[in-house]
């Protein structure tokens, strides 16, 4: 499939429902946004640990893929010199605008594509992106754009999906083994069954090579066990069924936390230009 078609399908997917909207389907807009925010940080406390919003102070900060804007509001509370957000979908930008309007902020938000950031070279000190760049057909190009818009010494904090994860194992059981296709590749399963069409996952080596090829000077990568791996919250709503319900009840979370930390679904990447 050609990238432009795939990009449209990615946009259509996220325009139907933003990420985390499942936690916000109740009551007034204000209540919905607050419910989504509460659920997000309760399920995923590692987001705040990784982002370190206080680092925004007096910096020019860009967030790529704002989604419903919870992290974007936290970046604003870090008192940056400027804060800019983009997303491929108008739906996400509208949610984030609403969240900021209710808090009395005037955000700089744009519908834009991570593969062609509409900003001059060296415009930002910090670029943040959580769970976004692996959805875009040309992820390497997104990283090149992140580097281009960063100033020398600037920092990128980016989460992309990890290939060798419990989430991957569950998807392989469901769409490989139980579908009679045990030789189906994980890449193909992720492409077709993990969120928007074309989603990619990386092992640590591949992610490190992608960042290095982009020309960042330093890079650290950490694997994070996630609420998806532990079957917590509303994960798996696309894959509903008896087996998922049973797995959610019987999942040995305590043991997995101890023994499977290296098989988490997120790669937390910090790179310096």
Distance between CA atoms of residues 186 and 184, nearest Å = 7
Q: Which of 130, 143, 202, 266 binds ligand SAM (CB under 6 A)?
A: 130
| CA proximity to 73, closest of 50, 48, 91, 49 | 48
Q: Which of 37, 60, 113, 125 binds ligand SAM (CB under 6 A)?
A: 113
Which residue number has the CB closest to ligand SAM?
67
Between 135 and 273, name the residue whose CB sits nearer to ligand SAM.
Answer: 135
Q: CB atoms < 10 A from the CB of 233, how many?
A: 18
Q: CB atoms < 10 A from the CB of 177, how many?
A: 12
Between 111 and 184, name the residue whose CB sits nearer to ligand SAM.
Answer: 111
The three-class DSSP label of residue 62 is strand
Site string for ligand SAM, 28-67 (x = CB under 6 A): ------------------------------------xx-x
Q: CB atoms < 10 A from the CB of 8, how many?
A: 12
Beta carbons of 88 and 14 less than 8 angstroms apart: yes
CA atoms within 13 A on the CB side of 243: 7
Beta carbons of 161 and 267 less than 8 angstroms apart: yes
Binding to ligand SAM, residues 177-236 (CB under 6 A): none
Binding to ligand SAM, residues 151-170 (CB under 6 A): none
Q: Shortest gap between Cβ of 111 and ligand SAM (angstroms)?
A: 9
| CA proximity to 200, closest of 269, 134, 132, 113 | 134
**Bridge partner list, 272:** 155, 218
Between 90 and 177, name the residue whose CB sits nearer to ligand SAM.
Answer: 90
Of 112-120, 208-216, 225-233, 256-264, the segment contacting ligand SAM by CB under 6 A is: 112-120
* 132 near ligand SAM (CB under 6 A): yes
Q: Shortest gap between Cβ of 182 and ligand SAM (angstroms)?
A: 28
Binding to ligand SAM, residues 69-108 (CB under 6 A): 86-89, 92
Distance between CA atoms of residues 232 and 167, nearest Å = 12
Residues near ligand SAM (CB under 6 A) = 10, 14, 18-20, 64-65, 67-68, 86-89, 92, 113-115, 130-132, 135-136
């Amino acid at each position: 499939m050609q990238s432009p078609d795939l990009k449209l399908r990615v946009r259509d997917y996220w325009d139907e429902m933003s990420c985390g909207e499942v936690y916000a389907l109740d009551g007034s807009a204000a209540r919905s946004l607050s419910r989504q925010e509460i659920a997000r940080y309760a399920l995923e406390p590692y987001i705040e640990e990784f982002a370190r919003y206080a680092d925004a102070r007096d910096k020019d900060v860009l967030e790529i893929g704002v989604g419903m804007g919870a992290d974007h509001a936290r970046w604003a509370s870090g008192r940056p010199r400027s804060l800019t957000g983009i997303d491929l979908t108008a739906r996400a930008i509208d949610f984030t605008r609403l969240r900021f309007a209710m808090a009395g902020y005037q955000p700089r938000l744009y519908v834009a594509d991570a593969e062609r950031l509409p900003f001059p070279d060296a415009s930002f000190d910090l670029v943040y992106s959580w769970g976004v760049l692996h959805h875009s057909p040309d992820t390497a190009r997104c990283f090149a754009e992140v580097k281009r818009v960063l100033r020398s010494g600037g920092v990128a904090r980016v989460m992309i999906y990890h290939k060798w994860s419990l989430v991957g194992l569950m998807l392989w059981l469901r769409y490989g083994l139980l579908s009679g296709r045990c030789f189906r590749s994980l890449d193909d399963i992720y492409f077709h069954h993990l969120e928007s069409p074309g989603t990619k996952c990386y092992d640590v080596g591949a992610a490190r090579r992608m960042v290095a090829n982009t020309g960042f000077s330093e890079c650290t990568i950490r694997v994070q066990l996630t609420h998806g791996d532990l079957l917590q919250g509303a994960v798996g709503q696309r894959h509903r069924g008896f087996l998922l319900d049973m797995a959610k009840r019987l999942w040995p979370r305590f043991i997995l936390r101890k023994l499977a930390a290296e098989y988490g679904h997120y790669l937390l990447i910090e790179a310096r230009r």
